[in-house]
Structures are given as structure tokens and as C-alpha cells.
Structure 1
Amino acid sequence: MTDRSTAKGTSLMTSSSLWQPFTLGRVQLAHRLALAPMTRNRANPDGTPGELAAEYYGQRASLGLLISESTQPSEDGQGYLATPGIYTPEHVTAWKTVADAVHAGGGNLFIQLMHAGRMAHPDNTPHHRRPVGPSAISAEQDMVTMTGPQQTPVPRELDTVEIQDVIAEFRHAAASAVAAGADGVEIHAANGFLLHQFLSPNANHRDDSYGGSVQNRARIVIEIAQAVAEEIGADRTGIRISPALPLGGLDEGDAEAVRAQYRYLVGELARLNLVYLHVFHVGDDELLRSLRDLWPNALLLIRYGRTREQIAADIDAGLADIAPLGQFALANPDIVERLRTDSPLNEVDPATLYGGAEAGYTDYPTLAGN
């Protein structure tokens, strides 16, 4: 992995908005950058973070706000190989080493809580049971397992009692995250996973109070957010959405259907006074503007295909307060210093994104050469 310069346009050194401090609930941030959540598939078989996780996150503590990789709140919540959990005492103990490393570097850790729902395969879970979902409709996606790619099976439809169990699992996971020393949690309601599946009419064919209408499809997301906020505080609870992102076989309908769903959802979530809304934006600028207007607190925004030169653009335009970084931060532990000094960036090694040991995880070079 060599240190190569990317093309440069307007220097981020002169972007005053990017370097302004910000208060995010109970934490103080020195600037507007953050670490985006990125799955790395390096957890241990029991769901504890891998032995290098504390080093990986600690290396990136200068980003200030670090949002962890997707972390399952229960055995049913696991979809992929080697992803971490946050629901057992062992998980709490292991995550504490990560939180301590982040805090030692001056950063703050939010653990992302993600239930995979139908985006799972029994071979990847501790109990090897069929995955669950809002309806018995397969994602029809290939899933990597220890024996090679396999198609996701038809999930078992959650009944209304089990939905309450899922809500309780998120509540317990949030409490466990705080017990591990995390500064908060991010509820993952995006990217084709369980909560996004409930929002999507092609994955949710229910005719009860959790399906059918815009309001009913949003119900589980709102109830989970309310439960988590009650458990650990709204000022430690963020949530991520990805309107119209067609991952996991989801199709949320035309632009007007997507706008109706997310304007309602965000309006209701705003009543809970959650500390932030994290939007993965894929192109509907009219919707983005309306969500910004609906949301009273911090808005984190990742715009698909964003370049280095565009990192501060949405903050400058008043559309966002914080710009989380994905692969830029993955390949550059000292990304904050590199952007401040207009320095060259390391390139990502695609072969080491998922699984493995230190290669492509904790061995990317810094400007200081370590």
C-alpha cells in the first residue's frame, strides 16, 4: 500500500465549516469529520471483537466521533460471518477494550446496532436457525459462508410477540454498549437490513399493525428508537437511514412513495429528540432538503460517490453538520491530519476489506511512518 496523491481541487484546509467544533449530545467534537460504520468481518467466533479491533479503532480516534461496524443485538441478528455482537457479558468486556482505546486517543465511540433480518444464512449464525424478517420473502441474495456463496433462504415471518422481543433486544444491546463504555449507539435502519426491510413494501407484505401503510411500516423503527432512547438517553441515540438504497433486494417504490415514507418516519423520530440522524444519500436532493428541515438535531450525511474535494460541501451548504468518512478513513488512520495539511492519501486495498488479520486493517501507514 503506497502513499499516493489524489486529484486535488479546492483545498479542505480552507474549509472553515469542516474544522468548527460541535456539541453532539454529551460529547464535544473538535471538528465535523467522523468514522463511518464499516463491516470488516474480523470478529471472533463468539461474537467478541477481534484482537486487533481496539488497535484499529484507536488508530482512528482523531476522527472524534467513531461509529463502529455493524454489531448484532442478538443471535438472530447476525447475518454475515465474523461480525461482532453486543448482547453477552463477554461482548461487553471485549468492547470495553475498544472503547478504552478510542477514549485514550481523544475520540468517542458509538456502537452501531444492526439486525440483519432476512439478509442472513443459517450457516453464519450461532444457532443455525432460519433467519427472520417482516414477511416470508427471500432477499434472493448471495451470502458468503464458510462453504462458499449460498443464497439467502426464505425467512420466517416475525409474529407480533416476536417483534416485541426484537425491540427488547435492541434495548438490551444499547444498555450493553453503554456498559462497555461506548458513548452512544446508532440504530441501523438502512442498507437492506431488518428495519429497512420493514420500511420496504416489497419485503413487508404484512396486514397487521406493522405493515400495509406508511405509518405501520415505520412502527418498529420508531418503537425501537423510543425504547433505546428510554434506556440510555436520547442524547446518546443516533439512527441511520438510506432512502431508496436498493441493497438486499429492496425496492421502496417510486420517488413519491419514498418521500412519503421517510418524511413520515423522520418527522416521528424527530419527536424523540435523538442526538443525530445519519443519512446515506443516493440522489433525491428534494427529499434530503425536506429531511434536513424536519430534523432538529445533528445530521450526518454520506453522499454516494463523494470525492475528497466534496467532503465539506454538504456542511458548507447547510445540509449536514458532520461528514462521516468511509474508505478514506479505512485506508488513512491519520485522515484528519492528511486533510488538514492537504497531504496525499493511501489507496484502499480491496482484497483486504473483509476478513483476515492486520493486513489492510491496522497496517496502513501514517504520515509519521508508523
Structure 2
Amino acid sequence: MDLFDDLPEPTQTAGEASVQKTCPSPLEDRGAKRKREAPDDDDEVVEEQKLEEKKVCKGVPILKGYVAARRGEREEMQDAHILLSDMKTCLSILPTTVSRLAYFAVFDGHGGARASRFAAEHLHHTLALKFPKVETENLDKLVKKCLLDTFRQTDEDFLKKASSQKPAWKDGSTATCMLVVDDMVYVANLGDSRAVLCRMEQKMQGGDRKCVTLALSKEHNPTIYEERMRIQRAGGTVRDGRVLGVLEVSRSIGDGQYKRIGVISTPDLRRCQLTPNDRFIILGCDGLFKVFSAEEAVKYVLHILQNGSVEKKEGQTEEEGHYEAACQRLANEAVRRGCADNVTVILVSVSF
């Protein structure tokens, strides 16, 4: 079965790209960077012009990310996150047909914060190294392979570092990573952190548009039949809804002591093409979704965007002020509702 679960495709797209941040740390130089040479003749100039026209016609949404993180009642903040509205700065070479890359991710650590922080610091660099470098008609297939290889490599790198410590680290982490290639969203996730999309759809007989919540991720816990069977076939057991009665997720980065009994680092992948009807995407750890359903979280944010009165920060537009307030208030409300866990929310606005 194809690991991609395709979500509804749009009928039209339009818009421009937007840049927020650059890569927080430079990519290590692992070889000479190849430079594109100038065209030698008129045919190459015409071909480049065609590629540029293709980019403009394709339509690239404007994305802006906001984040709120709360320690809750935990002694330590074990969540980590990263927002890269412009991931092109991490790549030495990018296919000329791709005009924009963006990356947003949330990692929910357990047993410590080392696995989540490692993933937040390294996963996107590995992704950049493995991202397709040349033009291809099979970009979707290569992006899928790139994400699978990146998660495997990140897990292996962390486990190698963890096992070299005295005593060995036993940390683990969920991962929900969203890679946006032009107007296509790819979500790769492990564990119980989630990603959801708010799409506005016209009612059948006119009137106001209604909000539709689309799941962009799939939870992995050992109570799910397929997950439990894999663990049991590998010699593990599931007790009280946990692996060996301890681990609450069935896929993760790290957790070296559970890898031999069926806990894997292979993510589920979903893709969705963004449309002018899309408003925002929420990425959140289970601390948020323990007290909010996906639909409740989307409606909570939408209400603030449409009706909330907010104070803008210096330099923010009114719309940016609303998104910032919605993100912060959503995290605060999760704590107020009694979530004792860490809470991390990434809110990504979408506009064309």
C-alpha cells in the first residue's frame, strides 16, 4: 500500500511566495557546492524563461508560522519545535521547478528532552541533504523517499549518540513534520502529535462558508490493531495501552530499548495540495489534543481570527496580531482545561 494518503485536491491555485525566517544554523559543508552555469545559447535562455513562467502560473501560498509553548505542570519542558518559512537557505542546490520550501515541526519528548531537541536541531539538515537536487517528473515519489530516509537517518544518528553515553540515554520523541513544496504539503509523523488543516467550503445553497477540519497525520499508539500486532510479532507486549506497560507510543525517534520489540521510526506520510479556501494548519503535541478535539481546536482558532479583539505587537499587521493571539490563547486554554503535560502549538497561516 502506498504510504501517501492523498487528501482532497484543489481546483485552482494562485498567489506568491513569502519569506519569514532563514535556517537558524548553517548547513555543514559536506562537499563542494555545484553552481549553475550561465546559459550558453538562446535555447537555454528560452527554457529558463519557460520554467519561470511555470512557477508563476503554479501559484505559491504565503505561509507564516506562530508558536506557543507551555511547560504546564511538568518539571521540565520536553517539547521542541522549529519554524522555517524559507528552507531554501539550508540547501546548496534546489530543482529550478521548485520555487519555495517551508518546514514546520513539533517534537514531544519523553524520558527526557534530548531526543526531541536532537530531532529539532538535526532532522531538517538531513532532509536538506537528501532533498532531490535535479529536475524530475517523479518529485512526489522522491520527496516521499527523502522523508522516509530522513526519519530513519535521524533515528539512527540519535541512537548512536545515545548508546555512546554513560549511562546510555533512554529518551524518545514523537515527530510531526510538515514540509511544503510550493503549494503541496507533505506531513510525516511518528507517535501522537498531530497536524490538522482548516479549509473553508461554500455551503450548498449559498450563505456563509463552513469550516471543514482535515486530518494531516495519523496517530501511532499500541492500542491500534496493526501497531499492536507488529509489537507482538517482534516479541513485545502491550499492557494498559502501553508497550511493556510503559511506552505510550508505538513509533518514535529514540527509545533504543524498545526498538528490538517493534517500536519503529517509519513515519506515516500524507500530502495535501493547498487551495485558496485554506485558512491555517495546526501542529500540536498530545498535550493540546488531550483536551481539544481537532474540530474544537480549529473552531477555537477560527473564532479568534473572526471575532477576537487583540493587541498587535510593534510591526505586526492586524491579521498577524490575530494569528499570534489565537496561537497563544489556544495553548493557554489547553493548560486552563487541566492539561498537566507540556503543550506546544504551531499555527501556520495560509493565504494566496
Higher relative contact order (CA 8 A, sep 6+): 2
Structure possessing the higher radius of gyration over alpha carbons: 2
Output the TM-score relative to the length of structure 2: 0.28
Name the structure where strand makes up a greater proportion of residues: 2
